[in-house]
């Protein structure tokens, strides 16, 4: 019998599917699994189904001597030491594709929230302060004819570009490789060096994976090279941005505003961000719809089913 350990709560259909190929033990609490409990179950695990809050490193793998597979219920896999898994012949899978639309929706929502000052407006109403419609009250920025600069033009970047086009934005991007010509034509998207993209975009959206190469890609210098009326949106991973430098840039007017779904030291948020009105803060909700989280659990489970049945993983990493 294959022993499957699920290290956090996932939608039930995923658990049911996993149950068709093995005996499933799942941590069923919103609190993170205590390490000793996790390790006790990993000791007999053939497969681990993990969340982005799990650190799958040598210590995790040492606790799981018979592990054959790690199925991460996330598209990002920076929480997994893929090289360590490969050294031990542990297959790693992620959940690309199924969360593309939900994450692009959230990125577009942050573009709108930041440029139209919706967080600030909501806080004003909730404060109970007196207010009245005014010609110059809380003016934001329109999107028509403005350039969206997308850093990381994978599936989510392209899906965001499609949404932004329907709001009248033009699309520029920075990516290691050029996007397929049909997609570039459809979007009218032009490829730029990072500094040029930052210097010319009205809104910059980060949609690249987090890796040593993208750690602090947006640092003080990068923020300085942005326009003072520009906005930064991050729905990718927090440490891509130097959060202290971002605080300074928001405070001294180097950029106009930001919309953040992810944080450098998640779940801790830089305390100064909480004091700033020109930043919208949401708690890592990119893929947080019922449909998407269910699809992610099912794709992770489908990967497990494929491997346990002797087939190839559907969406392998590395």
Q: Would you call 284 a catalytic residue per the annotation?
A: yes
**How many residues in the shown chain lie near ligand GLV by CB under 6 A?**
7
Q: Would you call 266 a catalytic residue per the annotation?
A: yes
Question: How far is the CA of 74 from the CAs of 67, 120, 275, in angstroms?
Answer: 19, 31, 31
Residue 107, burial from CB neighbour count under 10 angstroms (0-12, 13-18, 19+): buried
CB 95 to ligand GLV: min, Å: 6
Determine if 286 is a binding residue for ligand GLV (CB under 6 A): yes
- The 67-86 contact track toward ligand GLV, x by CB under 6 A, reads -------xxx----------
CB 123 to ligand GLV: min, Å: 26
Selected catalytic residue, list 116, 165, 186, 266 = 266
The smaller minimum CB distance to ligand GLV, of residues 146 and 237, is found at: 237
State yes or no: cis peptide before 276, omega within 30 of 0: no
Q: Cα–Cα distance between 117 and 272 in angstroms, integer?
A: 18
The smaller minimum CB distance to ligand GLV, of residues 171 and 299, is found at: 299
The smaller minimum CB distance to ligand GLV, of residues 75 and 143, is found at: 75
Determine if 287 is a binding residue for ligand GLV (CB under 6 A): yes
Determine if 249 is a binding residue for ligand GLV (CB under 6 A): no
Determine if 99 is a binding residue for ligand GLV (CB under 6 A): yes
Q: Cα–Cα distance between 23 and 19 in angstroms, integer?
A: 6
Instruction: At 171, list the tokens.
Output: 């699309």
CB 80 to ligand GLV: min, Å: 11
Determine if 198 is a binding residue for ligand GLV (CB under 6 A): no
CB 261 to ligand GLV: min, Å: 8
The smaller minimum CB distance to ligand GLV, of residues 61 and 99, is found at: 99
The smaller minimum CB distance to ligand GLV, of residues 110 and 172, is found at: 110
Q: Would you call 31 a catalytic residue per the annotation?
A: no
- The 41-60 contact track toward ligand GLV, x by CB under 6 A, reads -----------x--------
CB 35 to ligand GLV: min, Å: 22
Selected catalytic residue, list 174, 237, 270, 293 = 237
The smaller minimum CB distance to ligand GLV, of residues 99 and 298, is found at: 99
Q: Cα–Cα distance between 88 and 291 in angstroms, integer?
A: 34
CB 268 to ligand GLV: min, Å: 17
Rg (CA), the chain: 21
- Contact set with ligand GLV (CB under 6 A): 52, 74-76, 99, 286-287
Catalytic residues: 237, 266, 284
């Amino acid at each position: 019998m294959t022993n499957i350990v699920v290290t956090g709560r996932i939608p039930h259909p995923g658990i049911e599917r996993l149950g068709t190929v093995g005996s499933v033990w799942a941590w069923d609490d919103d609190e993170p699994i205590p390490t000793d409990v996790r390790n006790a179950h990993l000791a007999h695990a053939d497969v681990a189904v993990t969340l982005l809050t799990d650190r799958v490193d040598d210590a995790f793998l040492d606790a799981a001597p018979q592990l054959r597979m790690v199925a991460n219920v996330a598209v990002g896999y920076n929480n997994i030491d893929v090289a360590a898994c490969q050294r031990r012949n542990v297959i790693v899978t992620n959940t690309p594709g199924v969360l593309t639309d939900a994450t692009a929706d959230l990125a577009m929502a942050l573009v709108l929230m930041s440029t139209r000052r919706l967080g600030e407006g909501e806080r004003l109403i909730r404060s109970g302060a007196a207010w009245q419609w005014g010609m110059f009250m809380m003016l934001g920025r329109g999107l028509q004819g403005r350039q969206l600069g997308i850093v990381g033009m994978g599936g989510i970047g392209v899906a965001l570009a499609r949404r932004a086009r329907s709001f009248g934005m033009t699309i520029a991007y920075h990516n290691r490789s050029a996007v397929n010509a049909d997609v570039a034509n459809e979007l009218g998207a032009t490829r730029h060096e990072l500094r040029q993209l930052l210097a010319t975009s009205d809104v910059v959206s980060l949609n690249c994976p987090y890796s040593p190469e993208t750690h602090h890609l947006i640092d003080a210098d990068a923020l300085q090279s942005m326009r003072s009326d520009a906005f930064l949106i991050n729905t990718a991973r927090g440490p891509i941005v130097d959060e202290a430098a971002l605080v300074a840039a928001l405070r001294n007017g180097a950029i106009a505003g930001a919309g953040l779904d992810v944080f450098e030291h998640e779940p801790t948020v830089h305390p100064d961000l909480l004091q700033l009105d020109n930043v919208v803060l949401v708690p890592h909700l990119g893929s947080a719809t019922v449909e998407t989280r269910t699809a992610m659990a099912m794709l992770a489970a489908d990967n497990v089913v494929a491997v346990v049945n002797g087939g190839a993983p559907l969406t392998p990493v590395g």
